[in-house]
Amino acid sequence: MPAMTGSVPGGPDRKRVHPVVLKGVNKTYRMDAVDVPALVDINLVILPNRFTVLSGPSGSGKTTLLNLVGCIDCPDTGTIMVGGRPIQRMSDDAMSDFRGFQLGFVFQSFNLLPVLTAFENVEYPLVMAGMPRDQRRERTQSLLQAVGLGTHGDKRPGQLSGGQRQRVAVARALAREPQLVLADEPTANLDSKTGNEIIELMRQMQQDQGVAFIFSSHDPKLLAAADDAVYIHDGRIVGVDRNRREARADARSVEQSAGPGP
Amino acid sequence: MTVAAMVLGLVTVLLFGGYVKDLTYGLQTDFVQLSGHLQVQHKDYFRMGSGDPATFGVAQQDSILKAIREDSELGPMVAVATPILQFGGLAGNAQAGVSRTVFVTGILVEDQQRMRQWNEHGFPTLAAHISLAGTPQDTAVIGTGVARVLMLCKALGVSDCGDAPAGNAASAEAGGAALPSDIADLVPATAPAADAEGGRPRVDLLVASARGAPNVASVSILAAEFQGIKEFDDVHVAMHLAQAQRLVFGADAPKVTAIAVQLQRTSQLEAARSRLEALLRTRFETQPLAVLDYETLNPFYGQALAMFGAIFGFISALIGAIVLFTVTNTMTTSVVERTAEIGTLRAIGVRRGDIRRIFVAEGLLLGVVSAVVGILLALGLATAINASGMTWTPPGRVEPLPLALRVAGEWGMMLLAAVGVVVLGALSALVPAARASRLNIVEALRHV
């Protein structure tokens, strides 16, 4: 993969990677007259620069947890540290800026702006960041190339396939060199071949950029590709599985070195 | 749809405004043609002196006129400067034994003819020729109402008259309505026989002269002409200035009741007024004179314009309100349709305030587009309507005028309306923009 050019000017903690730490987090939704507990007493550490999957059945609270980490929702109680900052006390504007600066988002329905071209969609966060025009254009082009869409920049989302749209979304998410990319069911609207391609792309990006990817998904392919898995059920964490890839790699190398059976 | 509503509102307001402008210019033209832009009068004449031209008259008319025409600043601005003498009197038809109070206007016919040529606003109809032109000094023209009362209908060809009720003829013979004999004796010396001028009827005019004694003159009536408004038409007598002055002032130095000044362009009015006042103050300080403009002299003008202004304002406000509601509604729908988009933008770091600004900017932009389209459309429609040949008859006029909506060239009105539409666009966007900015991100992202 070609190296990325045009780094985004960063703040002091741009290059220092932080884990995501949740302590005593609770979130309740009010549906009609009933309070529905979505998350109960969550204590979790999500390590940087890894693929982490939040796994669980529908309604388990994994999307809510992802939203909290992504700062698009606030916990009722508890503390959440993202990028070294406690986010639950931030003002709305500060949170907006934080998201733009430190986070990237990939959505199930791609969520591209339909009136803009692929190029402009990826460029958008850089415009928000106030990057000078030439630098911006260069970076956008190299991002598109990195996701394999270097020649598709002038197409509108309506003219792209699902897989291509998700690639654009990944490029957009990485535009400002975030610490963390949050993806809610990124492969749910894709066929399995395309889904695999996207997973592969994200893995590549994670390695090239040193970005942490946090997924909320029940796609088994994603679970298979994850470094860490967090199992959630009925709003509670029921299990955390770390270093799964290394464990699998070790298992495979043990098998290989064992050689054929006696 | 948003643009359509705003364009429709703008076009309506502009076309109606064009109609009101045309009315304004029409009224202005009428008044300026008849009485000029400014009049020099005795300072108390307008308020209380119209019955007494001797006390409330303007002397040295020729010197004043000369000063006006030769002044370096004022001269070039003036189209016509002319003296006018107006006074009340009694007009009688001795033969029929009837008489009537009348209001006499003494004019210099050629000057008045030139005043009627004034047409700054390009009205297509030509001013009516003044019948008195080229007639002997003792000729007069009367209103059709006067003709009716003086029973001169047949003689002057006025229609819509009944014959005199039988009683009048009898009392006439008894001398009931005739002039008193000592006054009637004054008449024959100046009056040729009724038939001597090819059948023109004669009327006797009795006025209170400057010295307080009555004076009588016999005038030959050329024609009866409708004056547009019944109140004027019932009392109008127009005659040559010299004859009128002889009637009021006899052999004494004549005065006039006003010197009418008509300017090349109405926009020169204030400059002309100041210069005229300065001129009168310095060179004619012995007379208590004042300068009055045509709006003061014709209260009807100000009142009519005020009424139309109020109607126009009300309609504009109403249309503005309707457009505001319509556009707010369509923008709200737009926000709902773009909920997922808004959620996405917020997720990737766009602030609440920025979302709001995006929508307000869209409203402004729609306003600008609507303004441009609306003005072009209004200009096109006005041109089409003006070329269609439709006519209408304004109050106070006899003949119909072509319908002319004055939109082209009315830069002030167009600019104001355009700015209004742009502001309306932004205002309409405020509430939907605020709603958009306050959307909950999680819920917005869930929106299909």
Per-residue three-class SS string for B365-422 = HHHHHHHHHHHHHHHHHHHHHHHCCCEECCCCCCCCEECCCCCCCCHHHHHHHHHHHH
Number of domains in chain B: 2
**Chain B CB within 8 Å of residue A67 CB:** yes
Q: Do the domain assignments include residue B14?
A: yes
Chain A residues touching residue B349 (CB < 8 angstroms) = 96-101, 103, 125, 128
Distances (CA, A) of B104 to B101, B306, B446: 10, 30, 87
Q: Do the domain assignments include residue B139?
A: yes
With CB atoms and an 8 Å threshold, state whether B344 touches A100. no
Q: Which of B221, B253, B287 is the last residue of a domain?
A: B287
Question: How close is the nearest chain B Cα to the Cα of A66, in Å?
Answer: 11
Does B250 share its domain with B329? no
In sequence order, the β-bridge partners of residue B38 are B261, B293
Q: Do the domain assignments include residue B31?
A: no
Q: Which two tokens stand for residue B385?
A: 């309507």
Question: How close is the nearest chain A Cα to the Cα of B424, in Å?
Answer: 26
Question: How close is the nearest chain A Cα to the Cα of B346, in Å?
Answer: 7
b/e burial code for range A94-133 (CB count within 10 A of at least 16 → b) = ebbbbbbbbbbbbbbbbbbbeeebbbbbbbbbbebeebee
Distances (CA, A) of A112 to A188, A212, B54: 16, 22, 90
Q: Which two tokens stand for residue B187?
A: 């008449």
Does B275 share its domain with B323? no
Alpha carbons A258 and A99: distance in angstroms, whole number: 48
Q: Do the domain assignments include residue A38?
A: yes
Q: Do the domain assignments include residue B32?
A: no
Alpha carbons B395 and A248: distance in angstroms, whole number: 99
Does B71 share its domain with B7? no
**pLDDT, tens digit, for every residue of B21-30?**
888 888 888 8
> β-pairing, A85-86 with B258-263?
unpaired
Q: Which two tokens stand for residue B26?
A: 């029409």
Alpha carbons B39 and B290: distance in angstroms, whole number: 8
Chain A residues touching residue B353 (CB < 8 angstroms) = 93
Q: Do the domain assignments include residue A97?
A: yes
> β-pairing, A20-31 with A103-106?
unpaired
Chain A residues touching residue B347 (CB < 8 angstroms) = 70, 72, 99, 105
Q: Do the domain assignments include residue B292?
A: no
Q: State the pLDDT confidence band at A243, using cuts at 50, 70 and 90.
A: confident
Alpha carbons B222 and B150: distance in angstroms, whole number: 14
With CB atoms and an 8 Å threshold, state whether A128 touches B350. yes
Task: Name residues 156-185 of chain A within 8 A of B (Cβ).
Answer: 172
Chain A residues touching residue B342 (CB < 8 angstroms) = none
Q: Do the domain assignments include residue A78?
A: yes
At residue A203, the 3 state secondary structure works out as helix
Q: Do the domain assignments include residue A47?
A: yes
Residue found by looking up tokens 């299990």 in the block:
A239
Distances (CA, A) of A202 to A143, A174, A192, B88: 13, 10, 15, 103
- Angle of helix B2-35 relative to helix B411-437, nearest 10 degrees, comes to 150
Question: How close is the nearest chain A Cα to the Cα of B372, in Å?
Answer: 24
Angle at B380 between CA B377 and CA B382, to 5 degrees: 105
Complex prediction ipTM: 0.86
pLDDT at res. A1? 42
Does B374 share its domain with B413? yes
Does B335 share its domain with B441? yes
> For all residues of chain B together, what is the average pLDDT?
84
CATH number of the domain enclosing A88: 3.40.50.300
The edge-to-edge listing of strands for the beta sheet with A85-86 is A34-46, A20-31, A77-82, A85-86
Task: Kindly tell me if the per-residue pLDDT of B125 is higher than 70.
Answer: no
Q: Which of B337, B338, B346, B348 to mutate to test the interface with A (most CBs of A within 10 A)?
A: B348
pLDDT at res. A10? 46
Domain span at A236: 20-110+177-258
Q: Give the residue from B266, B248, B269 showing the smallest Cα distance to B257.
A: B248
Number of domains in chain A: 1
Does B249 share its domain with B118? yes
**pLDDT, tens digit, for every residue of B394-403?**
776 667 778 8
Does B102 share its domain with B179? yes
Does B281 share its domain with B331? no
**pLDDT, tens digit, for every residue of A163-196?**
999 999 999 999 999 989 999 999 988 998 999 9
Q: State the pLDDT confidence band at B171, using cuts at 50, 70 and 90.
A: very low
Does B12 share its domain with B64? no
Q: Do the domain assignments include residue A11?
A: no
For A35, other C-beta atoms within 10 Å of its C-beta total: 9
**pLDDT, tens digit, for every residue of B54-109?**
888 888 888 899 988 898 888 899 999 999 999 888 998 888 888 889 999 999 98
Q: Do the domain assignments include residue B295?
A: no
Q: Give the residue from A184, A195, A189, A200 showing the smallest Cα distance to A107.
A: A184
Higher local confidence (pLDDT), A37 or B344: B344
Residue found by looking up tokens 């200009």 in the block:
B379
Lowest-confidence range among A76-90, B46-60, B185-199? B185-199
Alpha carbons B172 and B188: distance in angstroms, whole number: 19
Q: Do the domain assignments include residue A72?
A: yes
Q: State the pLDDT confidence band at B231, using cuts at 50, 70 and 90.
A: confident
φ/ψ of B164, rounded to 5, equals: -65, 140
pLDDT at res. A13? 45
Does B213 share its domain with B343? no
Does B283 share its domain with B306? no
> β-pairing, A228-233 with A51-55?
parallel
**Chain B CB within 8 Å of residue A5 CB:** no
Written as one letter, the residue type at B277 is E
Domain span at B133: 44-287
Alpha carbons B11 and B374: distance in angstroms, whole number: 6
**pLDDT, tens digit, for every residue of A33-60?**
777 888 888 999 998 888 999 998 888 8
For B279, other C-beta atoms within 10 Å of its C-beta total: 19
CB-count exposure of residue B391 (10 Å: 0-12, 13-18, 19+): exposed
Q: Do the domain assignments include residue B294?
A: no
**Chain B CB within 8 Å of residue A124 CB:** yes
Q: Give the residue from B109, B23, B108 showing the smallest Cα distance to B61.
A: B108
- Pick A99's closest partner by Cβ from B343, B347, B353: B347
Q: State the pLDDT confidence band at A247, using cuts at 50, 70 and 90.
A: low
Q: In B94-137, which ranges are E strands?
A: 98-107
Q: Do the domain assignments include residue B36?
A: no
Return the half-sphere exposure (C-beta side, CA atoms, 13 A cut-off) of residue B111.
20
Helix (H) or strand (E) run with residue B332 in it: helix B299-337
pTM, two decimal places: 0.73
pLDDT at res. A2? 43
Does B15 share its domain with B117? no
